[in-house]
């Protein structure tokens, strides 16, 4: 898995448009990669990690101004010479002469925002946390069914989108169709969503691309959802033996994280949407400690012991 990163140029996009960044220096180095957020300017160089954003607010500027000129010059020279992808000035402050000079000489991007330091730190940190967590793309359909994130996977043409459409008409919500972006957060949650321009859209063979929000309203779509259950739709194969009791519990690996998994055979006459709905309800019961198949077997064994 490649090291997640964000290019400095991405900070200038619409997601952080409220910060109104201006590029003061280093416009030809906006491809520098950020690999984690952070801030430091007090001389503790060991805490400056490679690829970390450095925030320069009023406190940092006032601190630098208290230093003797030669010490300030040495401090700024040292920090701008480290593996720092970008410096960000807050509150619309103009950079100290030494900061501007070293950033220009080293082609180091220096951005300025009129926003408060706390606002810049909060917004940039949230942006980087969203973009730097491990992620992957999966071919499937993600739905919110009874508050659970259910990911439908399977071969192309097996009926994932049609099943999802039926579930939406039954009151459930679509998160992503065809391409599901999954992110693994530090708390272990797998969260799926859909990137633009596919968000809220679905492809139905014979009909084309449709917008579910336009057709069914806001309740028919969700922006993101934690993945709680993976169901693989598979064409029925008479040569295979399928689980009939529901005792087999398997997992599906996503970004090294196991997720509960079911394989559901697709055959003519099977109502897939109802089966997926029931599988989701049954999984909710399991999470609450009620495992129907195991309880049935226990009761059966108890009856057999009683008869013997």
What percentage of the chain has pLDDT greater than the value 90? Answer: 51
Position 183 pLDDT exceeds 90: yes
Q: What is the CATH number of domain 6-132?
A: 3.40.1390.20
Q: Based on the residue annotation, tell me whether 183 is a catalytic residue of this protein.
A: no
Q: What pLDDT, on the 0 to 100 scale, is given for residue 192? A: 96
- For the chain, counts of helices (H) and of strands (E): 8, 16
Residue 22 scores a pLDDT above 50 = yes
State the pTM of this model.
0.75
| 295: preceding bond cis by omega (within 30 degrees) | no
Catalytic status, residue 235: no
Residue extents of the structural domains in the chain: 6-132, 135-295
Q: Is the pLDDT of residue 258 over 90?
A: yes
Active site residue 178: yes
73-128 pLDDT, tens digit per residue, is 998 898 888 888 999 999 999 999 999 999 999 999 999 999 998 899 899 988 88
Question: HSE (CB half, 13 Å, CA atoms) of 83?
Answer: 10
Active-site annotation holder among 101, 178, 181, 286: 178
201 in catalytic set: no
State pLDDT tens for residues 42-66: 444 555 667 888 888 888 888 888 9
Q: How far is Cα 11 from Cα 123, in angstroms, rounded to an integer?
A: 10
| Nearest-10 crossing angle of helices 69-80, 97-105 | 30
Catalytic residue among 22, 122, 139, 290: 139
CATH number of 135-295: 3.40.50.300
């Amino acid at each position: 898995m490649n090291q997640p990163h964000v290019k400095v140029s991405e900070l200038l996009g619409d997601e952080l448009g409220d910060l109104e960044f201006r590029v003061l220096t280093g416009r030809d180095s906006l491809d520098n990669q950020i690999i984690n957020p952070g801030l430091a300017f007090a001389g503790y160089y060991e805490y400056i990690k490679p690829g970390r954003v450095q925030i320069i607010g009023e406190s940092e500027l006032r601190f630098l101004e208290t230093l003797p000129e030669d010490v300030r010059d040495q401090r700024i020279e040292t920090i701008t010479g480290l593996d720092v992808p970008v410096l960000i000035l807050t509150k619309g402050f103009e950079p100290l002469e030494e900061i501007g000079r070293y950033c220009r000489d080293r082609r180091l991007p220096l951005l300025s925002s009129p926003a408060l330091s706390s606002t810049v730190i909060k917004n940039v940190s949230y942006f980087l946390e969203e973009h730097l967590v491990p992620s992957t793309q999966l071919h499937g359909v993600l739905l919110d069914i009874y508050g659970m994130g259910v990911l439908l996977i399977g071969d192309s043409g097996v009926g994932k989108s049609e099943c999802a459409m039926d579930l939406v008409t039954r009151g459930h919500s679509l998160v992503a169709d065809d391409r599901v972006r999954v992110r693994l957060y530090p708390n272990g949650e797998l969260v799926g969503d859909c990137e633009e321009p596919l968000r809220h859209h679905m492809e139905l063979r014979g009909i084309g691309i449709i917008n579910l929000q336009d057709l069914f309203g806001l309740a028919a779509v969700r922006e993101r959802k934690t993945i709680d259950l993976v169901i693989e739709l598979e064409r029925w194969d008479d040569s295979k033996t399928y689980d009939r009791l529901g005792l087999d519990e398997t997992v599906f690996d996503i970004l090294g994280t196991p997720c509960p998994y079911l394989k559901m055979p697709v055959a003519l006459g099977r109502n897939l949407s109802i089966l997926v709905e029931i599988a989701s309800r049954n999984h909710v019961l399991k999470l609450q400690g009620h495992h129907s198949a195991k309880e049935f077997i226990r009761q059966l064994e108890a009856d057999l012991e009683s008869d013997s």
